[in-house]
A and B are shown apart, each in its own frame.
Chain A
Amino acid sequence: MTGYIIRRILQLLPVLLIASAGIWAMIYAVPGTPIGAIVGENATPEQIQAAIQRVGLDQPVLVQFWAWLKSAVLGDLGRSIHSRDPVLDLIMLRVPATLQLGLSATLVGLILGIPVAVISALYPGSWIDRSLSGWSALALGVPTFWLGILLILLFAVQLRWLPSASTYVSVFDSPLGALRNTFLPALTLGVYVSGIFARFLRASLLSELKADYVRTARSKGLKERDVVGRHVLRNALLPFVTVVGLMMAAFIGGTVVTEAVFTYPGIGRLLIQAINQRDYPLIQGVILFVLVAHVLINLMVDVLYAYIDPRIDYS
């Protein structure tokens, strides 16, 4: 198992190298330079020249890339052009907020999605299946910004139970404060993924319900509750884990729109801010972070499989 994890991490290196080159090239392809943002509108050509030299933009592209890569490997993603703070610090400041929102949104999605899937799969084609499928379609179809605004109108404006603008309060510092601030954005995202979860798990359950071992379990005289709850669900959840992992990775990569609606201080808003300010080191840093987070979550999902599926043996 350890060998497998080491091998996977080694396989990660070329992926990161190619991707970071891609990120670098992408920024170069975009018209305009960050110099204007640094020196301001009324700068003299001398000031501009000095800024270019300071930031290193007069060097050949490959040299710039190599310098960036070298320090990135050592954990130095450069400094933000705008705030002059280290990029890594700016990202790390947002990571706990993003993790808290991403995990709670996934949790909400599972709480809403799993029962919907199980009930639909048990009575396929029935009125309850059809109405629940309608619910999933609705959950997927309603834009998150609109649902977010509706929720703010209801809970913050009408009922005045929750704040309309969320800030990050760590669940470890103040569980109640965290709940007040994270609940609405988590619900907004959770409703959306519950649609994906419910659809995927329903299909997975339906195909497992046709499996031979289900007939075997029934032939032993097990209660239907145990046949579905133990035998079928356990197998149907195996492919489902991959989907949950993918969605979680997407949340950690930032949920730009939802964070904007709730003014939630996550990675997504940091990225928007960086793009607006043409803060190139910060853009590169955030994208690199998102990439690494995706790959690591996928690795975690694969490692998890070794524990939940006895057929998988990585050694």
Chain B
Amino acid sequence: MSEPVLSVRGLEVTFIGGGRPVPAVRGVDFDVYPNEVLGIVGESGSGKSVTSLAITGLLPDTARVKGSIRLGDVEMTEADREILRQMRGQDVGMIFQDPATTLNPVFTVGRQVTEGQVAHGQIQALRARERSIELLREVDIPDPDGRVLQYPHQFSGGMRQRAVIAMAMAGRPRLIIADEPTTALDVTVQAQVLSVLAKRQADTGAAVILITHDLGVVAEVAHRVAVMYGGRIVETGPVAEIFKRPRHPYTVGLLQSLPRIDSVDERLVPIPGQPPNPALLPTGCTFHPRCPIGCDRAICRSEEPPLRAVGEVHHSACHYAEEVARLFADAMPSDRIPASVVARAAAAGPPLLAVDGLKVHFPIKAGILRRRVGWVRAVDGVSLTVGPGETVGLVGESGCGKTTTGRAIMGLIKATGGSIRFDGQEVTRLSPGELRKARRHMQYIFQDPYSSLNPIKTVGDIVAEPLHIHGLYEEMGGGARITELFELVGLPRTVLGRYPREFSGGQKQRIGIARALALQPRLLILDEPVAALDVSIQAQIINLLQDLQKELGLAYLFIAHDLSVVRHISDRVAVMYLGRIVEESEKATLYETPVHPYTQSLLSAVPVPDPDARQTRRRIVLEGDIPNPAKPPSGCYFHPRCFRATERCRVEEPAFEPYPGLPTRSACHHAGPLEAVGSRRGASS
């Protein structure tokens, strides 16, 4: 292999100031070669982002860096500020997580794309616009001549991230550091962005460090993987080795706790406990308190294991790396249960929740008199049912109206049309007082556990609040009920008097669930309940939700964008696009035999945590973005992005009707399983 582009040895980063020094990175070694993608995987606090900032010299002044970072022939830890500045943009390009905030809102995209090159004197300011157009064209931005003068807010999320890629690649750097580049994007947009990133990398031959928590993305694009935990690399090796023969119990834990789109497990195996706080690291091996194989052995508690070779190019930092093979084999049966066998019998009897033709239209007002000039059709005729004890998944990309649907069912937003029947009672026409009573048995769980709990109340009071509001505190058992609720969600009663800030994200979500359960609801509407959590914590919450469902006979309407999570937890799944349900079916059928082209594209875009799938999988990369719901396309809303669209789709709106032979309803003129339609097309052409 050629010389590495980047060589990191013994990197340590410690943050000082404000009490005890906090070791964020504790001895990290790795190399990255030209044309190579190194995936760095880890949960929050693992030190992965700090490592990337250390490489570019962008750490805050409170950071102390030790060790060596060689980029080409420059020792970055000793270079002065001016040299580091010169190297940023020219030798290292960076791509960050959230394209909504990484671009400066008050400057045109074109200016920002080439700003670095102009600053480095690589191009003249007069030629900058020309160069920006060229760069935007290279990342597949449509109409680059027009777009170059637009501002970031006029770009969609995916286009912004492509512009950021263009910006990072502008100076043709030898190294690209991409820190969670697709985490904030929808799955179809993620697929576009990853393919642009791969294409540009192939064009320039740059080395790429891809930092992510998403094992699916890593399996999809990385050549080698480094798994970080507690500020160190705990395992590193080629991507296939890591996924097929992991040699660190943490890696095994990550793989097991991940719901997967390509198979079905009855139950996830979460990693117990929390990722460690860098300020309070456990002694010895930092993973030992959560480890299934080493926790009761003295050496794990006293001695930090070095990263040692466990194969030709495979390293692990575990005292008992050899035993991990067995752990992995036990936990992950090679022949997974096919999805169809697991499918539960559909719930009998009348549905608990029946939504029919639900519409939520928001007026658009304009002009001097603020007259209504149109409608945003956020939800435009959604029908679905949830039976007692059943879980219905509602999936779709951002802006499809899934959250608005949930809120309208809950009565938090007024429905402008259609009917919502809960337990046989029409709730859209209830008075506010009656609605409050009806809502008692229907509760909502929010996405962000960080902001949905009132910070100035104790968690005990937060959970008791719904009981007080409904005047049922004494009736339902008072303090004893609160304690019972905390135990139900797996929190000790001793935490009742504490405040939300003292809890981690996963614990806060447990508190949110306890609050929702206080009134003994029969239906929970869960809006992205695990999207903000780390992978290992996500699995704990999903398991908790499944246990609660069994124990209390709850029905769930599970709103999410993550198709793997939805597959894991749902009995039936409905797919939304631009305010409408385009396909709805039993879980097994929807994932095995989707008939709507949007569902098919969505499923094909989900990264699978299996490097082998890279070659075999057929991927449909959708072009363009989700249209504006104020100006939906004519006919079938999906037709401008659809690979099956015909003239009929442009003019005629498809009806939402049962698909023959399957327990599926879909809204498509050309519905049909992927292979069948593909071959028919092949035959006709």
Contact = CB atoms under 8 A, between A and B. Distances in A.
Interface of A: 3, 6-7, 10, 211-213, 215-224, 226, 231, 234-235, 238, 308-311
A212 B85 contact: no
Interface of B: 56, 58, 85-90, 92-94, 96, 98, 101-107, 112, 115-116, 119-120, 151, 153, 164, 167-168, 171, 367-368, 370
B104 A221 contact: no
A215 B58 contact: yes
B85, B89, B101, B106 — most chain A CB neighbours (10 Å): B106
Contacts of B104: 213, 216-217, 231, 234-235
Contacts of A231: 104, 107
A219 B101 contact: no
B151 A221 contact: no
A5 to B, nearest CB: 10
Contacts of B115: 217, 220, 222
Contacts of B103: 213, 216
A213, A215, A219, A226 — most chain B CB neighbours (10 Å): A219
A55 B85 CA distance: 76
B106 A234 contact: yes
B19 to A, nearest CB: 16
Given A213-B101, A216-B96, A310-B153, A221 B85 contact: yes
Contact of B367 (A3, A218, A223): A3
A220 B368 contact: no
A220 B92 CA distance: 8
11 contacts: A3-B368, A7-B370, A213-B103, A216-B102, A216-B167, A219-B88, A220-B119, A220-B167, A221-B119, A238-B106, A309-B105
B388 to A, nearest CB: 46
A198 to B, nearest CB: 22
A216 B105 contact: no
- The 3 residue pairs across chains A and B that have the minimum distance between CB atoms: A220-B116, A221-B89, A221-B88
Chain A residues touching B, majority SS: helix
A211 B88 contact: no
Given A212-B98, A216-B94, 16 more contacts: A6-B368, A213-B101, A213-B105, A215-B58, A216-B96, A217-B104, A219-B89, A219-B96, A220-B167, A221-B119, A221-B171, A222-B119, A235-B104, A235-B105, A235-B106, A309-B105
B116 A218 contact: no
Contacts of A310: 105-106, 151, 153
Contacts of B112: 216
B89 A220 contact: yes
A257 to B, nearest CB: 38
A207 to B, nearest CB: 13
A221 B164 contact: no
Nearest to A220: B116
Contact of A311 (B94, B96, B98, B151): B151
Contacts of A216: 94, 96, 102-104, 112, 164, 167
B151 A219 contact: no
B153 A219 contact: no
Contact of B101 (A3, A212, A217, A226): A212
Given A213-B101, A213-B102, A235-B104, A10 B58 contact: no
A311 B106 CA distance: 8
A212, A221, A231, A238 — most chain B CB neighbours (10 Å): A221
A223 B119 CA distance: 8
Given A6-B368, A221-B87, A235-B104, A215 B96 contact: yes
B71 to A, nearest CB: 13
Contacts of A309: 105-106
B672 to A, nearest CB: 43
Nearest to A211: B101
A215 B104 CA distance: 10
Nearest to B104: A213
Contacts of B56: 219
A6 B370 CA distance: 12
A7 B153 CA distance: 26
B577 to A, nearest CB: 28
A224 B85 CA distance: 9
A226 B89 CA distance: 15
Given A235-B104, A310-B105, A311-B105, A220 B88 contact: yes
A311 B150 CA distance: 11
A309 B168 CA distance: 25
A211, A223, A309, A310 — most chain B CB neighbours (10 Å): A310
Contacts of B370: 7
A234 B111 CA distance: 15
A234 B107 CA distance: 9
B102 A218 contact: no
Contacts of B367: 3
Nearest to B170: A220
B135 to A, nearest CB: 13
A224 B93 CA distance: 17
Given A212-B101, A311-B105, A311-B153, A223 B85 contact: yes
Nearest to A311: B153
Nearest to B116: A220
Contact of B90 (A6, A221, A235): A221
A219 B58 contact: yes
Contacts of A3: 367-368
A89 to B, nearest CB: 34
Contacts of B153: 310-311
Given A220-B89, A226-B119, A310-B151, A10 B368 contact: yes
Contacts of A215: 58, 96, 102
A140 to B, nearest CB: 30
Nearest to B88: A221
A224 B58 CA distance: 12
B104, B116, B151 — most chain A CB neighbours (10 Å): B104
A7 B168 CA distance: 44
A303 to B, nearest CB: 15
